[in-house]
Amino acid sequence: MPTITTNDLKNGMTLELDRDLVQVVEFQHVKPGKGHAFVRTTLRNVRTGAVVDRTFRAGEKVERAMIDKRSMQFLYRDGADYVFMDDETYDQRNLAPAALGDAARYLVEQATALILLFGEEVIGVELPAAVELAITETEPGVQGDRVSGARKPATLETGLVVQVPLFIENGERVKVDTRSGEYLSRA
């Protein structure tokens, strides 16, 4: 593992601290008028999701975790598991829904995602900022009911429910933001 100092920390960096994998959510380098400089951080445990605040001395050495990002294509669901194929080696890999987290709500067959690996352990999934999904069920818009900004619930092909404008109908494809889960536009 490469060793870095706390002066080199960046948001999103993954570290190995006390046999745990943590991701830097936020950091602040502080130099008080008296005393030594220090780095105040907010860290999120990659495996459990727990968030902790921790303070380090400036220049303290920490272990940076080597995270491998692999582009994989979602093929199909096998029972509860999701089956992915590595785009380079064509190896197939079964992933549990817990390993995917919220990303499972946006996955359709043939979709590509970046799978984050620490050794052989899946620690996360990165999706594109927006995905296109088809609407399977929504109420029809009523003629004349065109209030500005009015929304209605719509169920997408993955089972996700989003609020869409009244003019959207069944079978249409819409863009959904994968970070917030909100409707963006028609596809």
Domain boundaries, position 182: 130-186
Last residue of a domain, which of 64, 85, 111? Answer: 64
Residues 143 and 118 in one domain: no
Cβ(160)–Cβ(106) under 8 Å?
A: yes
Q: What is the pLDDT of residue 144?
A: 60
Predicted confidence band of residue 71 (pLDDT cuts 50, 70, 90) = very high
Residue 40 pLDDT exceeds 90: yes
| % of the chain with per-residue pLDDT over 70 | 95
**What's the CATH code of the domain at 47?**
2.30.30.30
Last residue of a domain, which of 64, 81, 110? Answer: 64
The whole-angstrom separation of Cα 175 and Cα 183 is 6
Q: How many structural domains are present in the chain?
A: 3
Which residues have C-beta within 8 Å of that of residue 186, sequence separation ≥ 6?
Answer: 168, 172, 173, 174, 175
Q: What is the pLDDT of residue 148?
A: 66
Residues 74 and 115 in one domain: yes
Residues 58 and 95 in one domain: no
Last residue of a domain, which of 99, 126, 153? Answer: 126
Bridge partners of residue 74, in order along the sequence: 84
pTM above 0.75, yes or no: no
Span 86-109, pLDDT tens digits? 989 999 988 888 888 888 888 888
The whole-angstrom separation of Cα 184 and Cα 109 is 21
Strand bridging mode 68-78 / 38-45 = unpaired
Residues 136 and 181 in one domain: yes
Stretch 100-129: mean pLDDT: 86
